[in-house]
Amino acid sequence: MRDVIVAANWKMHTTPADAGELATTIAARTREAGVTRVICPPFVCLAAVRDALADDDPDVAVGAQNVHHELVGAYTGEISAPMLAGLASWVIVGHSERRRDAAETDELIGRKVGRAIDAGLRPILCVGEQLPQREAGEQEAVVDDQIAGALAVLDPARLVPAGLVVAYEPVWAIGTGRNASGVDAAAMAVAVRASLARAGIVGGAEAIPVLYGGSVTSANIAEFLTEPSIDGALVGGASLKPDEMAGIVARAGITARARGLAA
Ligand code: PEP
């Protein structure tokens, strides 16, 4: 049975002075058997969060929000996968805000996933359509292109063993307060796995956890987690609020127990 995962994307919030305390507060409020928790702070806060959690709750994983597609070189301001050793064990790749602001292409995102895997980082590959694409009924084709484009530069035999996770995040739902319906998100999770299978993933697309992301809160998380094809959430704005995270992870705990994951 696939893992149940709640990943917190703190985006460009927190500082090294306050990130550790927020991480331990969230950790203490989200102890739920069978739920994998990941906190992804800004790069400069990774060490503070790692240190705070190591003392407090080593079960919470630390993730980065991006990684460069090269190992080393003249890339001012960038961070490579080997640089994250000891700081993070997960990484978000291809978030729509980076596709938008840094013009990241599917091929580049695929290379980032490859670098992450080489460095032993567990990648969360983000995909999702824009609002006009959804309105035109193109969402499955868009996501299929994104997955095919990223996987074209990857060895499909490495993805299941590396623990690849896909986050379906419709762009129109990110930070807008307008979430997808559970039914629509579930249909997209099924479509994501069909795309992974078409792209030739070895070991079974059914093994890949698919998260929903886009204005997830404690009030709407149940709508997603009652869907068997959805394995958790990538949470942005609400992930900075301990009360919200407590509610979201508590609901994830119900799914983990239903799946027999809570030992
Ligand atoms: C995200 O940053 O991936 C995200 C889903 O943000 P929000 O929950 O704020 O929509």
90-114 confidence digits (pLDDT tens): 999 999 999 999 999 999 999 999 9
What pairing do the DSSP bridges indicate for beta strands 165-168 and 122-127?
parallel
14 — pLDDT class (breaks 50, 70, 90): very high
pLDDT for position 210: 98
Query: What is the mean predicted confidence (pLDDT) over 211-235?
Result: 98
Mean of the per-residue pLDDT values of the chain: 97
Residue 68 designated active-site = no
Ligand 1 nearest atom to the CA of residue 176, by list position: 10
Q: What is the reported pLDDT for 189? A: 98
Tokens of 62: 């630390």
Q: Are 220 and 179 in contact (CB under 8 A)?
A: yes
Report the percentage of the chain scoring pLDDT > 90: 96
β-sheet bridge partners, residue 208: none
Residue 194 pLDDT: 97
CA distance 84 to 18: 21
Atom 3 of ligand 1 has which residue's CA nearest to it?
236
**What digits encode the pLDDT tens for the residues 229-250?**
999 999 999 999 999 999 999 9
What pLDDT is attached to residue 230? Answer: 98
Each residue's pLDDT tens digit, 119-160? 999 999 999 999 999 999 999 999 999 999 999 999 999 999
Closest Cα to atom 6, ligand 1: which residue?
Answer: 236
- pLDDT tens for residues 164-181? 999 999 999 999 999 999
φ, ψ of residue 169 in degrees (nearest 5):
-130, 95
Clarify whether 95 is annotated catalytic.
Answer: yes
Query: Ligand 1 atom 2: the closest Cα is on which residue?
Result: 236
Residues written for the chain:
263
